[in-house]
Amino acid sequence: MLDRFGRSIDYLRISVTDRCNFRCVYCMPPQGIELLDSSEILTYEELLRIITVLGQVGVNKIRLTGGEPLVRPGIVDFIRRVSSIRTVKDIALTTNGSLLAGMAGDLKQAGLQRVNISLDTIDAQRFAAITGRDNLAQVLAGLDRAVAVGFSPVKLNVVLTEMLSEQDIIYFLDRVYQSPVAIRFIEYMPIGRQSIKSASLIHAVKTKLEHVSSGKLQPAVAVQGSGPARYYRLPQAQGVFGFITPMSEHFCHKCNRIRLTADGKIKPCLLSNVELDIKQLMRSGCGDQEIFQRFVQAILEKSHQHDLSDQQGNGEFTRAMFQVGG
């Protein structure tokens, strides 16, 4: 499917739940959250129907997000059913990694191809300050298990905050030298109502990586499912570093994705409040053509590029990150 600007939309990001076992400061509001009733969340059957309909018009890449997707019961069987859909070519999942060690083997066997693991620091105290949980060991175990069972590539998502330290840089350097992981540094996006300083800028991180490693970052071939990241490699390293800059150097001109929230809203753009409902349409007994047309309508709402002034006129987004899935 093409949008108004000729961009081909072939990638659907699905938030399968608003639940999460972490409370990351840049993702959830400090006053807490009001969870959706289970009846408000799209069922697996509804999601499978949407994936099947969109697959017939070229949407062949699926990413599952949350909340934390691994807390939703039945997720492994759901992935197995998604992988059996003929048109689906790529299935990926974004996770905080805390439950991954015990599930990685089953997920791989079910047909999951790739995982992105959120890991902003390897210092236990800073990790707890960011996530509100003391689960660093479980996340690192999940990372090791993901590599061991053969997910390719395994990506680490590192949101840049002032908490990134030289200790973290050294750990990430060790990782790319030891295993074929892709470590992506991501500019903080002001979604929700959080106030986080993004003191560690992309250029500063690149400089620190080169200084600590005594090597020169060289442009690298994009890894599978690379999306908007620009990748670089250090000499002799097995893995790569990626840099994602949605704020300082947006990549809207090559956007190929559309998002579906857990409660059945289609979001043409992550950094916009525009949403179109699909849940009530489906639950009213619509046909597949009506589902297709609703997504066409949403895709035609995609703007040329994001506009952070589009926040309900008061500088705020209507959803926090945990409700969108990134």
What's the rounded mean pLDDT across residues 221-226?
72
pLDDT at 149 over 70: yes
What are the CB-based long-range contacts (under 8 Å, 24+) for 235-239? Answer: 236/177, 237/176, 237/177, 238/176, 238/177, 238/178, 238/179, 238/180, 238/181, 239/175, 239/176, 239/177, 239/179, 239/180, 239/181, 239/182, 239/183
155 domain-assigned: yes
202 domain-assigned: yes
pLDDT at 66 over 90: yes
What's the rounded mean pLDDT across residues 78-96?
98
261 domain-assigned: yes
pLDDT, tens digit, for every residue of 184-211? 998 876 654 455 555 447 888 889 899 9
CATH for 223: 3.20.20.70
- Residues spanned by the domain of 100: 11-323
Q: Please, what is the average pLDDT of the chain?
A: 89
Is the model more confident about 157 or about 318? 157
Name the domain count of the chain: 1
Q: State the pLDDT at residue 244.
A: 87
Give the whole-number percent of the chain exceeding pLDDT 90.
Answer: 69
What's the rounded mean pLDDT across residues 217-236?
84
pLDDT at 232 over 90: yes
Q: What is the pTM of this model?
A: 0.90
What's the rounded mean pLDDT across residues 215-238?
86
